[in-house]
Every structure is written in C-alpha cells, then in structure tokens.
Structure 1
Amino acid sequence: MSQSQQKRAQKCVSCGINIAGTSAATFKCPDCGAQIVRCAKCRKQSNLYECPDCGFMGP
C-alpha cells in the first residue's frame, strides 16, 4: 500500500472519523511506538485516546 493510500485509510483513534484531507496529528505511542492518528477536533477537545496495539491511554 502506498503512503497516500495509507493516509486515506487512517481513522482518528478517538472518534473514528476518516482523517483524509484534515489537519490530523500523527505521532508515536509513548509506550510501544505504534502510530497514533487523531483528528483536529479530538485534539482540541483533549478527548482520550487508546493505542490500538498496547492499550496505552492518553489525553
């Protein structure tokens, strides 16, 4: 899968919306290093997220 296809397939880990074409944040999980993707709305509202790989929860 190409990088652009991966971006289109990504969803916010907090609310589940498709993040293609949005100002989403992508970062590594502090515990395991897995990729976390969050939409701008969830980041602004400080909604909790859970790492899909290790279960780490953050603000």
Structure 2
Amino acid sequence: MSQSEQRRTRQCVSCGINISGISAATFDCPDCGHEISRCANCRKQSNLYECPDCGFTGP
C-alpha cells in the first residue's frame, strides 16, 4: 500500500471516522509504539483515546 493510500484509510481511534488533512495527528503509542491516528475534532476536544494493541489511554 502506498503512503498516500495509507493516509486515506486512517481512522480516528477516538471516534472511528476516516481522517485526512493536516489537522489530523498520527503518532506512536507511548507504551507499545503502535501507530495511533486522531482527527482534528477529537484532538481539539481532548477526547480520550485507547491504543488498540496494549490498551494505553490518553487525552
């Protein structure tokens, strides 16, 4: 899968919507390193997220 295809298929771990654009964030889980993506709206509202691999939760 190309990098542009990966960007189109990212889902927010907080609300589940497909995300794209520059306001979305993708980062590694602080505990296990799994890639986590969050939409701009959930980031702005500081919604909690949970890592699907290890269960780590964060704001």
Residue matched to 1:52: 52
Residue matched to 2:7: 7
d(CA) in 2 for partners of 1:52, 1:21: 22
d(CA) in 2 for partners of 1:14, 1:21: 17
> Identity rate of aligned residues, in percent?
78
Residue matched to 1:16: 16
Total equivalences in the alignment: 59
Q: TM-score, normalised by structure 1?
A: 0.92
Q: TM-score, normalised by structure 2?
A: 0.92
d(CA) in 1 for partners of 2:37, 2:14: 9
| Partner amino acid, structure 2, of 1:25 | A
Residue matched to 1:41: 41
| Partner amino acid, structure 1, of 2:14 | S
Q: Which runs of 4+ in 1 moved over 3 A?
A: none
| Partner amino acid, structure 2, of 1:41 | N
CA RMSD of aligned residues (A): 1.0
